[in-house]
């Protein structure tokens, strides 16, 4: 599903440049649940943003579902992003003046789905994350865990091949984190490929494979016995 080879990325800062990714190689098969671990500043988000086509590497290759991702114009990149990828962020990134339902329906709007069908589908995804009753509420009327559930429903609405989650539990308390991880495990059980960036070992242990990032390189890539999130609650 994902294949990257010798990926490099530097940030330019005035006359200096910060070499963040120094030759990353890895691949992810369909249906995997992988965590990318590493301390703060190790380049996790940089890597995830490149995988999410929100940013581009300086060199190296990236193939997503057989398609080489390189020098795409923004229109095609946006189409690929919509078609292949769903995003979940630490800070939820919901639109504050739109209801939970309208937030979930938004990706469908960009896909050109008609309003009635958008609402039906968005409602089904809200049901899936257990929030049907909250459909009409604004984000600031929801708890952190509920907001992240809405964000997950929104990420699923476009039926992406890969879900990319950057510290999805970073803003949540422990119990709520495990509930969100239970949801993520359930979505992976259905066969969806998911990458989770986290600096928390407990969260990484709830995935099936841990990729450790340090000083711009992968220092460890290990399959683990998945801990079921709800066994912790
Ligand atoms: P992580 O997600 O693992 O905490 P990041 O990928 O966000 O790490 O950042 C890796 C390094 O790159 C950090 O030193 C950070 O300060 C730097 N960095 C991240 N984004 C930018 C940017 N847009 N411009 C300059 N430096 C950046
Ligand atoms: Mg980060």
Q: How far is CA 186 from CA 84, 93, 105, 152, 207, in A?
A: 19, 22, 21, 12, 11
Residue 233: predicted pLDDT: 66
Ligand closest to Cα of 47 equals 1
Q: Which of 10, 12, 20 to mutate to test ligand 1, by most ligand atoms within 8 A of the CB atom?
A: 20
pLDDT range class, residue 71, cuts 50, 70, 90:
confident
Residues facing 11 on adjacent strands? 18
Q: Which residues are near ligand 1 (CB < 6 Å)?
A: 11, 13, 18, 20, 38, 40-46
Average of per-residue pLDDT across 195-221: 96
ipTM computed for the complex: 0.98
Say if CB 156 and CB 186 are below 8 A apart.
no
User: Which residue stretches of 158-231 are H helix?
Assistant: 174-189, 201-204
| Nearest CA, atom 6, ligand 1 | 43
The 10 Å CB-count burial string (b at 16+, else e) for 120-154 is ebbbebbebbebeebbeebbeebebbbbbbbbbbb
pLDDT range class, residue 13, cuts 50, 70, 90:
confident
Can you say how many angstroms the Cα of residue 223 is from the centroid of all Cα atoms in its chain? 20
| Nearest CA, atom 26, ligand 1 | 11
For residue 40, the CA-to-ligand 1 centroid distance in Å is: 9
Answer yes or no: pTM beyond 0.90: yes
For residue 132, the CA-to-ligand 2 centroid distance in Å is: 31
For residue 45, the CA-to-ligand 2 centroid distance in Å is: 4
pLDDT at 27 over 80: yes
């Amino acid at each position: 599903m994902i294949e990257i080879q010798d990926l490099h990325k530097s940030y330019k800062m005035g006359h200096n440049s910060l070499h963040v990714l120094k030759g990353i190689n890895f691949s992810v098969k369909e249906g995997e649940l992988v965590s990318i671990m590493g301390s703060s500043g190790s380049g996790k988000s940089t890597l995830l943003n490149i995988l999410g086509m929100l940013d581009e590497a300086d060199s190296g290759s990236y193939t997503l579902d057989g398609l080489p991702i390189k020098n795409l114009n923004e229109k095609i990149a946006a189409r690929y992003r919509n078609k292949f990828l769903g995003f979940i962020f630490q800070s939820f990134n919901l639109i504050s003046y739109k209801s939970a339902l309208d937030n979930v329906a938004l990706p469908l709007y960009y896909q050109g789905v008609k309003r009635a069908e958008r609402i039906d589908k968005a409602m089904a995804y809200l049901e899936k994350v257990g929030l049907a009753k909250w459909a009409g509420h604004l984000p600031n009327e929801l708890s952190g865990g509920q907001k992240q559930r809405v964000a997950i429903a929104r990420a699923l609405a476009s039926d992406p091949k890969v879900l990319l989650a950057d510290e999805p539990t970073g803003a949540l308390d422990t119990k709520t984190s495990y509930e969100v991880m239970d949801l993520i495990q359930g979505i992976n059980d259905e066969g969806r490929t998911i990458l989770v960036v986290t600096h928390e070992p407990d969260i990484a242990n709830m995935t099936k494979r841990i990729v450790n990032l340090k000083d711009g390189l992968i220092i460890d890539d290990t399959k683990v016995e998945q801990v079921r999130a709800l066994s912790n609650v």
